[in-house]
Amino acid sequence: MMSYWILFIGIAVASWLVQANLQRKFKKYSKIPTGNGMTGRDVAMKMLQDNGINDVKVTHTPGTLTDHYNPATKTVNLSEGVYASSSIMAAAVAAHECGHAVQHARAYAPLTLRSKLVPVVSFASHWMTWLLLGGILLLQSFPQLLLAGIILFALTTLFSFITLPVEIDASKRALVWLSGSGITNSYNHSQAEDALRSAAYTYVVAALSSLATLIYYIMIFMGRRD
C-alpha cells in the first residue's frame, strides 16, 4: 500500500507541474504574434475551408483554456484568449480544435468510439462516486456495491485512455496544416509544436491518475488495505 501512495503522490505532483507548465506556455506563446495577423478565428475558418468542411461553425466560449470541438453541434468553440488573438498560441489551439473537426469529418475511429462512450461515461460519472463511497462503507456486508462502482470508474478510465490518441492525432493534423499552409514558419513552428505538446501532457497525466485511482479501489475490493 505504501508503494501505491508514493505512486499516487508522484502522479499528483506531476499533474500540478504539467498544469503549471501549460499555464506558463500559454502566457508565453500568447505574447508571440504569428506575423500574418490572423486571429484564432481566422485560422480555424481557413483550416476548415482547406479541408473541405463547410458545416462546422467557429464560435467563442468564456474562460481560459476552455477551447473544444463539439461533434454534436459541429462547432469549434474557442476561448476568449484564442478567438480574437493573433498569437502563435491562438493559432496552435485553433488548429488543434479544427483537427478534431477533421477527425469527425473523416470518421476517425478513436473519436467515433469516444463519442459513443460519452453518454455511458456521463452516466458513470454521475453515479460512481456514490457507489464507491457506499461500497467502501458496506464492504464487508455488500461488496457488490463497490464492484459496481469500480466497473463504472473503469469506464471513465477507459475513456481517458481513448482520449489520448484522439488528442495526439488532432495535434499532428494541426501542425502539418499550420506548416503546409504557411501559418507557421521555420522560426515559430517549434513554438506551436511545444504549445500543443504541453497540452497533450495534461491528458497523459489525467489518464495515469485515473488508472492509479482505479487500482486503489480494486485493491480495497480485494481486501488489500494494509
Assigned C-alpha cell, 222 = 480485494
User: Which residue has cell 495515469?
Assistant: 208
Q: What would you measure as the largest C-alpha separation in the chain, in angstroms? A: 67
Identify the active-site residue in 80, 97, 167, 193. 97
Distance (Å) of CA 186 to CA 103, 104, 182: 26, 30, 10
Whether 193 is catalytic is no
Cα separation, 50 vs 76, in Å, equals 15
Distance (Å) of CA 15 to CA 59, 164, 175, 201, 202: 29, 15, 25, 9, 7
Contact yes or no for 82/94 (Cβ under 8 A): yes
Contact yes or no for 135/149 (Cβ under 8 A): yes
Cα separation, 197 vs 128, in Å, equals 31
Return left, alpha or beta for 223; rule: phi > 0 is left, psi -120 to 50 is alpha, else beta: left
Cα separation, 207 vs 50, in Å, equals 33
Contact yes or no for 51/178 (Cβ under 8 A): no
The residues annotated with a catalytic role in the active site are: 97
